[in-house]
Every structure is written in structure tokens, then in C-alpha cells.
Chains A and B, each alone.
Chain A
Amino acid sequence: MTDDISDIAAYYDRNPQGEHNRLEEHQLEYDLTWRFLEAYLPPSGEILEIGAGTGRYTLGLVQRGYNVTAVDFSKANLEACQEYLKEAGFTDSVQFILDDARFLTAIPQKEFDAVLLMGPLYHLVEENDRQMALKQAYDRLRPSGVIFSAFISRFGIFGVIMKIMPESIKDHKQVRSVVERGRDRKDWPSGGFRAYFATVEEIPPLHEKTGFTTIKLVGVEPAISADDESYNKLEGERRELWLDLLYEISDQPSIVGASQHLLYIGRK
């Protein structure tokens, strides 16, 4: 049975600007993700972006010459995405489609060169739903096409939680549920950011079961725990040099899971 995720669409519908601003605060996540997109995307082609949000990556892709089909589950996100691209004068290079990553009913039957699945796997708390989303991604890729999927790391989030809500440790049931199952306890009040927190160990097998060959699994916020501000303040060459170093250590197996966000790169 598929999960009712209308609360997640509603979450984004209420405040698309929140998601748009998020990546301004998390610049390392954004910069490092781009390093990996640049390294593993084909030089040109058609990209299916499932969970495009408000278009932070969409615009960068279009500016680099890719044709993009942007799918989002939240109408408000999709409209914000459309608006964001329009402001930059790129409306025509993108197709905007309101759809659920598990079904992709409205997506044209064609083979894309790459799929970005950076968002849906944050939220699909049922393993079966995550598999459905990956199967859809797989089916839409050409042979040897590349997938980029993003996850939240179960053991990478606690530095931030200690920073912004240290009192939450007292909710024993919730803490146990997140540590053991990667999701909220059963009687958690709905309407908030309902998410799934993955272990590093489960990510490659989840993709390989669908038929993907793993290229890399990296942490896109290595070494910083809850300290985005120090990175955001860096400028010029100093910023580039730090990014070089963090890129280099982002796939070290002993630290991957300490990043808040994980990026899986695989090939069909």
C-alpha cells in the first residue's frame, strides 16, 4: 500500500519560499552537489528532475544548456519554480509537471540522459514507496544514464538537533523511533516536516536492487556538522580551496554518514 503523503505536499504548499531560502543557508550542500553534477552529468542532454522544488538546481541546469523536465509534488513549489526560471528568462527550456515521484503518470515516455531525484527520498518513509520512486527513475533513464539521489543521513542530523532543539532529547519514543526506524514515532503530530532518515548502509543496495550500478555515495556537508555559517562566510580562492578539500574527503567511508545530506550517484 502506498503512503498518503498529501501532508508533505501541503507542507511545501504552505511556504515554497522556505525551501527556496534553505539552500542559501546550506551553501556547502549546494556547492558540493554541483561539483558532483558537473563531474558525472553528460556534457549535454535531457534531464528529468524529480522533486525540483523551487528550481534552485533547475536554473543552473538550464544555464548549462540542458533540457529539463521539472517534476514536483507541490503546486506552490512548481509555480515558484516556473516563476524563478521566468525571472531569469528561461521559461521555454523547461517543462513543468505536477506529479508524484512514485507514479510519474504525466511524464512523457522517453529516455532521459540523467535523473535527479533530490527530494522525494527525503520524505518517502515507507521503503516500498522509496523503491517505487527509484523504479520510476530507472524506467525513465536511457541505458547507462545517470541517477543522482539525495537522502537525509540518520546519524548526521543530531549535531543540528542539539543546536536548534536540544530539549527534543527528552522525547524518548521519538528519539528511539528516529534512531531505529529513521522516522517519526507513530503518534507524532502531523503537518510538520515529515521525513525519512536513511542509514548509509541501506542506500547502495536500495539502488542496486532496482538495477543501478553504484558510482559513489558521498556526504555533501562533510566536516561541518551544524556549522554552515563558517563555510558561507568564505570568499574567493579561499572558498574554492576549502571546497576542493571537502570534495576530496566527501566520500571517505568513515565520515560519509556524519553529513546531514547524502548524495548517491549511480548508473543504469
Chain B
Amino acid sequence: MMDDISDITAYYDRNPQVEHKRLEEHQLEYDLTWRFLEAYLPPSGEILEIGAGTGRYTLELVQRGYTVTVVEISRANLDACREYLAEAGLEHRVKYILGDGRYLRDVPEKEYDAVLLMGPLYHLVEEGDRRMAVREAYVHLRPGGVIFSALISRFGIWGNILKNFPKAIEFKDQIRYVLDNGSDHPDWQQGGFRAYGATVDEIAPLHEDFGFETIKLVGVEPTISTNDDDERYNKLEGERRLLWLDLLYEISMEPSIVGASRHLLYIGRKNQILQQKPNNFEET
């Protein structure tokens, strides 16, 4: 049975600015994600962005010449996204659709060159729901098209919790449940940031089951764990910042540290459907 996720919609509807500002604080997450988008997106084409939030990535995609269809479950996020693009005079370059990542009813039946699924898999706590979202992404991609999915890492979140909510450890049932299941204990109060923390091991299979070929699974915040660490990165400027980004990009795919990042990025490809070639020697 599909989960009722209206509380998640409501969470974003209450304050879309929080989400918009989040990526100003998490600049490493944003910068590294862009490195991977630049490396694996086709040079041009149509992108389906499922869970576009307030348009942080949308705007840059449009500025880089892509045609973008945005899907978002929160109306406030979608309005903020349109507004953000309008400020840059680019709102007409984007198609805005209010929709649920699990069934993209209103999305045109066409084959996109790439899908960004950076958000829905943070929140869908039921495996069946995550599978539906990945499947929807798959069916909307052309053969050879690329998917970028973002997830929260179950073992990468604790440094920040230790620093900012050390008392959380005293909610023993909740802690146990998060470690074992990646989601909140059933009795945990709703209305907050209800999320799913994935293990590194489950992510590639989740995608490969539908026919994706895994390109990479990386941590987009390697070696940092708290908001203080974020600030240190945010303060870096000029060449020094780029050099750090080069190094962090390089180690972001090291298997022994991937899961220590708070956010993970999966990159996969929809298998090419190979054309049956005519049998040559039959012709001769």
C-alpha cells in the first residue's frame, strides 16, 4: 500500500524558503553535485527534474541551455521555483507540473535525455514507494538516458546530530529504529522532516532492478560532517576553493568513505536497447 505523504507536502508548503536557503548552507553538496551533473549529463537535451524544490538546480540547468520539465509535490515549492526562474527572466523555459514522484500522471509521455530524482528518495520511507519512483524515472528516459538520484545516508547523519541535537540519543527506540530501518519509529511525532536514510548497499540494486546500469555512487559531502565543517568549506574562495573541490570530487567515490557523507548521489544509465543487426552471412 502506498504511504500517505501529505505531511511531507505540508512540510515544504509551510516554508519553501527553508529549502531554498538550505543549499546556500550546504555549498559543498551543491558544488559537487554540479561536478557530477556536468560530467554525466548529455551536452544538451530535455531534462525531467522530479522533486525540483525551489529551483536551485532548475535555474542553472536552464542557463546551461537544457529544456527542463519540473515536477514537485509541494505547491509552495513549485510556486517558489517559478518565481525564482521568473526573477532571472527564464520562467518560460520550464514546464511546471504539480505531481507525485511515484506516478507521473501529468508528465508528457516522452523520452527524456536525463532524469534528476533529487529529493523524492529522501522522503519515501516505504521501499515499494521508492521503487515506484525509480520505475517512473526509468520509463520516462530514453534508452541510454541518465538518472541522478539523491539519497540521505543512514550512517552519514550522526556527526551532525551529535553536534546539534546530542539529546536525540536518549530517544532510544527512535535511534534503534532509524539505525535498523532508516525511518522514524512509528510512534515518533509527525509533521517534521520525515525522511528515509538509505544504506549504501541498497542503492545500486534499487536501480539495477529496473534495468539501470550503475555508473557511480558517490558521497557529495566527503570528509565533512557538521554545519561547522560546511562553513569552513563555504568560506573557501577562488583557486583554493576549486582545489579543495577537485580533491573532494576525487575522493567522493572511495568505497570506504562514501557512506560517511550525509547525502549520496547515484548516477545510472538506462540500458541501450541494442538493435538486432541483420545477420551478415545470410546476406551473402
Contacts and interface: CB of A to CB of B under 8 A. Distances in A.
Interface of A: 153, 155-156, 158-159, 162-163, 166-167, 169-170, 172, 175, 179, 199-201, 222-227, 230-231, 233-234, 237-238, 241-242, 245-246, 248-249, 252-258
A254 B264 CA distance: 12
B229 A226 contact: yes
Interface of B: 153, 155-156, 158-159, 162-163, 166-167, 169-170, 172, 175, 179, 199-201, 222-226, 228-229, 232-233, 236, 239-240, 243-244, 247-248, 250-251, 254-260
B114 to A, nearest CB: 26
26 contacts: A155-B254, A158-B251, A162-B232, A166-B240, A170-B240, A170-B243, A172-B243, A222-B260, A223-B162, A223-B260, A224-B225, A225-B159, A225-B224, A225-B225, A227-B159, A233-B166, A238-B167, A238-B170, A241-B175, A249-B155, A252-B155, A254-B153, A254-B155, A254-B201, A254-B256, A258-B222
Nearest to A259: B260
A258 B258 CA distance: 8
Contacts of A153: 256
Contacts of B244: 162, 166, 169
A249 B159 CA distance: 12
B166 A234 contact: yes
User: Which residue of A224, A242, A255 has the most chain B CB atoms within 10 A of its CB atom?
Assistant: A255
A227 B240 contact: no
Contacts of B162: 223-224, 227, 230-231, 234, 242
Contacts of B201: 254
A254 B259 CA distance: 5
B163 A257 contact: no
A101 B172 CA distance: 44
B232 A163 contact: yes
B251 A179 contact: yes
Contact of A155 (B172, B233, B257, B259): B257
Contacts of B199: 254
Nearest to B239: A170
A158 B166 CA distance: 24
Contacts of B159: 223-225, 227
A224 B158 CA distance: 8
A258 B169 contact: no
Query: Which secondary structure characterizes the binding site on chain B?
Result: helix
Contact of B236 (A159, A166, A234): A166
Q: Give 4 nearest A-B pairs by CB, closest first.
A: A254-B259, A257-B256, A258-B260, A200-B256
Contacts of B255: 253-254
Report which residue of B153, B169, B233 has the largest number of chain A beta carbons within 10 angstroms of its beta carbon: B169
A246 B260 CA distance: 12
A245 B229 contact: no
Contact of B156 (A163, A200, A255): A255
A170 B247 CA distance: 11
A257 B223 CA distance: 10
Nearest to A254: B259
A162 B170 contact: no
Contacts of A226: 225, 229
A155 B170 contact: no
B226 A241 contact: no
A238 B248 CA distance: 33
Nearest to B235: A166
A232 to B, nearest CB: 11
A234 B250 CA distance: 34
B257 A255 contact: yes
A158 B247 contact: yes
Nearest to A167: B240
B248 to A, nearest CB: 7
Given A166-B236, A257-B254, 13 more contacts: A155-B254, A158-B222, A162-B244, A175-B243, A175-B247, A179-B250, A201-B256, A222-B260, A223-B260, A226-B229, A231-B162, A252-B155, A255-B260
Contacts of A256: 256-257
A235 to B, nearest CB: 10
Contacts of A230: 162-163, 166, 226
A248 B225 CA distance: 18
Contacts of A254: 153, 155, 199-201, 255-260
Contacts of A170: 239-240, 243
Contacts of A241: 169-170, 172, 175
Nearest to B225: A225
A175 B260 CA distance: 22
Which of A156, A169, A199, A222 has the most CB atoms of chain B within a 10 A radius of its CB? A169
A227 B199 CA distance: 23
A227 B205 CA distance: 33
A21 B224 CA distance: 25
A249 B225 CA distance: 15
B181 to A, nearest CB: 15
B229 A255 contact: no
A203 B250 CA distance: 21
Given A163-B232, A246-B158, A255 B163 contact: no
